[in-house]
Structure 1
Amino acid sequence: MKPDVGRLGLLDMLEPSVRADFLRHGREVFHAAGAVIHREGDADRALEVVVDGRVALSRLDEQGYEVQAWVLEPGDSFGEIPLLTGRPRTHMAVAVTAVRLLRLTQEQFIDLLDRHVGLRDVMMSSLAGMLADLADAYDRVQRLSVAQRVSRHLLQLAAPAPDRQVLAVGQGEIARALNVTREAVAGALRQMRADGLVETGYRAITLLSLQKLRGLR
């Protein structure tokens, strides 16, 4: 599940002068694909904005399995809850691709709030929009078939190009991310293979056509 990609990111909502100050205060941080940015429960209270690449947020369920919550793209931010409430990190963040982040510590962000009164309103608007998007996304997902949910998940993991590409992901991981049974995922992939959309192997799924796969959404 991912917030609506049409929603403006935090930086896009800022006035030019505030945005420039935001960028000046922030520190660029780079992570290689697959790197763990932070873990669920970490006490880190920084705000991070995705500049380039994609970041997957996930958490552990009651059985200790990792369940993916959503994938963030350029413009999306994360860390607002620890930053504003003091609570530990609620999700693990992993770089899906090579990632460039803009990172602001709590002290830096408070300093920006003190100097730019309108930033508080932007933060509230951003958080409200995020919650609304998540609620809408959850509602939409519940109405989709397992095959549609699997296709959406694969498209989230895929790069925008090329049209044919291989994802290093197993059926169990997909099942845990979507909170469905492995058998349901296997059945959906069988149908997708029969339709010429994917090929499957050990912990590998080849997407044969992103364009056709999007037709299942």
Structure 2
Amino acid sequence: MMSRENWLHELPAHVREAIVARMTTVEIPAGQTLRRTGDRAVGMYQVESGYVRLLGLNPDGRQVLILLYRPGNCFGETPVIARRPFNHTTVALTDVRLRMLAERDFWELYGEFREIPDALCRKFANNTSRQFVMREMRSTFRLRQLISVCFASLADHCGKPFADGSVLVELPLVQGDFADFLEVTRQAVQREIGALKAAGQISQRRGHWLLHNVEGLRVDGLAFGAA
């Protein structure tokens, strides 16, 4: 559901500083849509704080979760580079603070610093590799393993650890989000999450997920994709 992608951080300091100097800050409240499918690309974004949903559109008109952007993640570069509208919708999952680089500034910096297209090429290659890994997992892993991988990954990326070893994931994610992401029915996810609850692996607290045994979830998922 998440990655640690942050191609701006990989750039030499002088290039990164030149980009940040041209960025503006945008604050988006939870639930507000940032860009919709079909909107014109106006620039790229980096999440400074909070979390953003990337949503696709099912044939029946229902929006489904594709992935989550976390602090440090960048998005919006692809439609700018491809000179096309957004293919997906981005919505603030929590209150979000973003930095935005306008399209004109993006292209000026892209032409000035060779390091930028190099870093973007690595990002796009890594994204493609992750897509292949996820496709392989969906075809070879059982559903409970996939759900365990999701929970272990959430713990690694945004979990709040407690002294007893449990980890709280303070994101308003529901079972339907896991079903959409894994491309399975909600009933199937409900059954497997129920089994994980019965085994004492997870529970819910005020609408958030409490993971009681992250290492157990990692083992259940064969540690595949948890990093």
CA offset digits 1:85-123 (Å, max 9, x no partner):
121112211223332222111111111123223322222
Q: Which amino acid aligns with 1:186?
A: Q
Structure 1 distance, partners of 2:209, 2:16, is 40
Question: Counterpart of 1:174?
Answer: 178
- Kept in 2, the 8 Å contact 1:27–1:102? The answer is yes
Aligned-CA RMSD value = 2.7
**1:76 and 1:86, CA in 2 relative to 1: closer, same or farther beyond 3 A?**
same
SS in 2 for 1:28: strand
Structure 1 distance, partners of 2:106, 2:190, is 46
Question: Counterpart of 1:160?
Answer: 159
Question: Counterpart of 2:164?
Answer: none
- Kept in 2, the 8 Å contact 1:67–1:178? The answer is no
**1:81 and 1:60, CA in 2 relative to 1: closer, same or farther beyond 3 A?**
same
In the comparison of the two structures, how many residue pairs are matched?
213
Normalised to the residue count of structure 1, the TM-score between the two structures is: 0.82
Q: Which amino acid aligns with 2:112?
A: R
**1:102 and 1:109, CA in 2 relative to 1: closer, same or farther beyond 3 A?**
same
What pairs up with 1:100-179 in 2 under 5 angstroms? Answer: 100-154=97-151, 159-162=158-161, 163-164=167-168, 168-179=172-183
Is it true that 1:54 corresponds to 2:43 in the alignment?
no
CA offset digits 1:17-60 (Å, max 9, x no partner):
11000000111222233332222221133111122232221211
Normalised to the residue count of structure 2, the TM-score between the two structures is: 0.79
Gaps of 5+ in 2: 162-166, 222-227
Q: Which amino acid aligns with 2:44?
A: L
Q: Which amino acid aligns with 2:189?
A: V
Gaps of 5+ in 1: none
SS in 2 for 1:89: coil
Structure 2 distance, partners of 1:173, 1:118, is 36
Question: Counterpart of 1:187?
Answer: 191
Structure 2 distance, partners of 1:129, 1:29, is 27
SS in 2 for 1:63: coil
